[in-house]
Chains A and B, each alone.
Chain A
Amino acid sequence: MSSKKIVILYGSETGNACDYAYILSQKLNRLHFKHTICPLGDFIPSDVLECRYMFIICSTSGQGELPVNARKSSSATEQQSLWSFLKQKSLPHDLLNHLKVSFLGLGDSSYPHFNYAVRKLHERFVNQLGAIELFDRLEADEISMAGSNKGTGSGVESVYFEFERRILKLLSEKFPTRLVNGERIKRIAIDDEIYMEPSSYLMLDDELDMETSSTKPVKFKGDSSVKYGEVSKNLRITNNEHFQDVRQFTIKMKDNENYNPGDTIALYPCNTDEDVEKILKVQPEWLKVADKPLKFSNGVQNNLLEGGVIVPLTLRNLLNYQCDIMSVPRVSFFMKVWPFAVDKSRLEKGQDQLDQQREKLHQFAVDEDMQDLFDYCNRPRRSILEVVEDFLSLNLPWKYILDYMPIIKPRLFSISSGDSDPSIDLTIAIVKYKTILRKIRKGVCTNFVANLKIGDELRYKIHRNNLLDKVNCKSPFILISPGVGIAPMMSLIKSNISGNIHLFFGNRFKDSDYLYQETLEEWEKSGKINLYTAFSRDRVNSPDVKYVQDVLWKKGQELTEIIINENANIYLCGSSGKMPIQVRLTIVEMLKKWGSFADDKEAEAYLKKMEADHRYLQETW
């Protein structure tokens, strides 16, 4: 019985598109519409043949591209993604004419390339490959200045709910009945007060002896591409006085594996024992089963396959390694858990307080105006753990935990070590910040990294990006990287990709966060690289330049010459936001001023050509 006839696909940067997709998925489930939901990048191209209804929710990355999880498969294998398959020139114009499709784009019109991703998808799917659009696409704007909610003063969520209403109406009208035991009955939605049991859930495994299960070291099974390594270095490389803790973090591979400059590593973080202990204690039914062996009632769910499933399977291990209890809860979390707000035994004001909590959680789950949820969770970056601690009426059944709890996702880091070095070097900025919550917020993965000791084991996967396949290494390289953007540049330089490298490196202060200072200055001395630095908050050591783009401009004439006459490659890496835009503008201005083009248009066309020829590469996050 195929479930791929109806498919929800999402491309998500920050998780919003993903959450809307899961909200839609819940609504379809309640109407008994079986379907598949996954990131656009993980959908197998040939499954398109089975699909009849495809609903796509997609945000746009900073540069107008599809988000990574829409472009690429999350598995480390070279599985071709649907998007790269559909971009092939040779496809016929009616390839998708069996497919009905609807699009929702999430964007922010204060950035350029507003909703480019969904427009690209729309153009290719509908206009070029013949998919049938169920209704005109929706484009949501964060600031309601453009798109579907232009001038309405309504937020992105109201655009989503319009999308949802249309889809549910359409499907319900087309399929007003359903078959149960061969009998045709009216299709009626299951009440939202009822929790829908997932197809597989956890249960106690009486066959396994507890002793053996709790003493074994943990392993992950089911994903053969997962690798293990040992921490061999975890060194803070910014001055202790400096606010930002940046680590040089080295992993010794257990099984050597090839990689190239530009490749990334996915690290699988886990939660701290203290946080796990807290949630076990705050949930009345959890602690007593925490270390008992568990099994799945009906096999492992798909969303656990990537990265593998923990063995031995216990609640404590799941909370430690798989359940993202420190993430900020999404609407879909509240949709699932609010029916479990039933316990008044721990509430000082009894039934009144229970009703109050239940109503509040329900409101977070269904309110189309998400302002309260936003103020309570998103703004202060409140974790699921903290929500559960605040709402003592929640009595969550552990057996469904993998259904309502988000799964910890691996985080990607650029590799800093040279070609296939068995010690993988990473450059990691530890994330910490203040919100109104008393407790300092910490990034789940970087906090995990910060606490690792030499000799600790960790789980990873190398993702191949084939950066150098497209690049002409005989030409000079202009590397531009403020801050931790230096990470992949270190790999390129160590791998000796070129004898002609110009590195533009920006930091705040020369004495506090000048990463890899000694190494870089040595390389400059030995002629391995030409180094140009900028220190944005350091007037003494960087009197006339603030940012990397200022040094670029200063060296503009020289650089323009090697760009035009020697076909230099430009590789830009670092934080997204204004930096990549400023750098690009600077390069356009350089080309205009020193490039002897007939007019501005030609200079801009030249840069576009560079991008098309993979001579202007950018990796920003």
Chain B
Amino acid sequence: MFRRSELDHRPSVQIFVDGAAVAAREGDTVSAALLASGRDVRRLTAVSGAPRLPYCMMGVCFDCLVTIDGVGNRQGCLVPVAEGMQVELQKGKREIGR
């Protein structure tokens, strides 16, 4: 859906998406890294279980919700990636304590 421009020379950052290593770039948000990864990164909504992807990328729509380092329902479009970050796609409602 998206690819990186060859102009982009930022250093690489490795994150893990559902356990699999994904190459991101320094300064990417989690949502941008997911959309650039080429993987199926759809989440399922808490209401009906419908699949969604980020819609606004600017922090207002909450369709980018994702579990980051064990904490659920983070806005992936507002959180920059960090080396070794563990990202999990959410399927339905967040689990309590996560």
Whether both chains belong to one complex is answered with no
